[in-house]
Amino acid sequence: MKTVIKMMVVGVVFCLVLSANATTGWTGAAGSTDWTDPANWDSGVPNTVEDIWISADGINGIAVLSTAATTGEDLGVGMFTGGTSMLTITDTGSISLNKTVAVGNSAGATGTLTVDGGSIIVGADPIDNDYIHVGNSGNGTLNIINGGTVLGKSRVYTGYSTSTTGSGAINIDGNGSTLTVEGDYLLLGRNGTGTLDITDGGKVYAAVYCYIGYNGDGTATVDGSGSLLNVDTSLYVGAQITGDGMLTITGGGLVSAVNMYIDAPSTSGEGVVRIGINGALAVGDNGTTATTITEFLALVVGTDNIDYWNGTAWADITSGTLGIDYALTEYDYNSVSYTKLTQTPPKGTLIIIQ
């Protein structure tokens, strides 16, 4: 009997509370993108006890951080209505924040945070409410590319706002590019819209829960050889009352979760998992490998809405044939046993090996 761990957050009031520390805001007055130039800030280059606003008070700005071991309290990129801002952290840049990162915070604000080979650490401890918000009430984008790394010690949200205006996108691309969530939630579409794209070997590790579509719209795509979404506890696709979730796994991508829920306990939303050619979904099996699709689906709680690509259209996995359309194999990761469902190429599919 598989141990099922459930934790829903109904009734919890979420709010983004930024600390009341001294702040320094980016003005770009020096006419450059250099983070280290004091003339680009209204209160000088950020120090260890300040909040850092890029596009403070609606001022548009583009900043580049290429300095290692930069620290601060809160970081906001696209904080205020009307502001459009971008911050890039290069391969020689790193920053450690004690509290919260907000990208696209207010309605009408747009923020883009790109970790291009650099690194960010957010939060002091997994049990603290030290969030990464991508698209709180505004539009936010977090790009992790070229081996960049982001570590969230608490929670990571996209499309957070209760007003449904928030839209957040997280893109992880390339070998070595990694998002790690040590706290209890990776949540796509809390009330607004949230997307997660993992491509070309990018990886996401969620220590506890991942929700794709909570009360809003959530979409996740895992594509390309080596691309991975790993959830150490429970993965939900379509959750709560109105959560709509779509998870698509293609091209050698892998999604693994100890426990999985599709449309559970959603009552009016919809959750769908699509496994394309060479995509794979692994679900914890307590050491007993599922040998039939019925046994595999018994590992999933909810509607079991899993589709595969039959060569012309998406079809319910139960209409496929084991050994022809898909394979079931044993998969072990971090001392946990899974059954892995892999979509095999349909007959007549041309595969080009480069």
Residue 10 scores a pLDDT above 60: no
Let me know how long the chain is: 354
**SS3 call for 50:** coil
At 110 the pLDDT is 92
The radius of gyration computed from the CA coordinates of the chain, to the nearest angstrom, equals: 21
What average pLDDT score do residues 153-173 get? 88
With cut-offs at 50, 70 and 90, classify the pLDDT of residue 5.
Answer: very low
At 58 the pLDDT is 56
At 352 the pLDDT is 45
Residue 7 scores a pLDDT above 70: no
Dihedral of the CA atoms 98, 125, 229, 195 (nearest 10)? -40
Lowest mean pLDDT: which of 155-164, 169-178, 210-219, 331-340? 155-164
pLDDT digits (tens, 9 = 90+) for 272-296: 999 999 999 999 999 999 999 999 9
With cut-offs at 50, 70 and 90, classify the pLDDT of residue 243.
Answer: confident
| Dist CA 102 CA 113 (whole Å) | 10
pLDDT digits (tens, 9 = 90+) for 188-239: 998 899 999 999 999 999 999 999 998 889 999 999 999 999 999 999 999 8
CA angle, 159 as apex, 165 and 304 as ends, to 5°?
A: 120
| Dist CA 171 CA 158 (whole Å) | 12
The domains of the chain are located at 23-343
Nearest to 62 by CA among 96, 27, 86: 86
Cross-strand partners of 94: 119
pLDDT digits (tens, 9 = 90+) for 302-339: 888 999 999 899 999 999 999 999 999 999 999 999 99
30-36 long-range contacts, CB within 8 A, separation 24+: 33/62, 33/63, 33/64, 33/88, 34/64, 35/63, 35/64, 35/65, 35/66, 35/67, 35/70, 35/93, 36/67
The phi and psi torsions of 41 (rounded to 5 degrees) equal -125, 150
Nearest to 301 by CA among 52, 38, 1: 1
Contact status, residue 191 vs residue 214, Cβ threshold 8 Å: yes
pLDDT digits (tens, 9 = 90+) for 81-102: 777 899 999 999 999 999 999 9
With cut-offs at 50, 70 and 90, classify the pLDDT of residue 124.
Answer: confident
pTM score, whole prediction: 0.91
CB neighbours (10 Å) of residue 242?
17
Contact status, residue 203 vs residue 235, Cβ threshold 8 Å: no
| Dist CA 229 CA 227 (whole Å) | 7
Contact status, residue 266 vs residue 239, Cβ threshold 8 Å: yes
Residue 71, sorted as left (phi over 0), alpha (psi -120 to 50) or beta, turns out to be: beta
- Cis link prior to 346 (omega < 30° from 0)? no
Q: Is the dihedral of CA 8, 11, 12, 15 positive or negative?
A: positive
CB neighbours (10 Å) of residue 312?
7
% of residues, the chain, pLDDT over 90: 67
Nearest to 332 by CA among 298, 282, 296, 291: 282
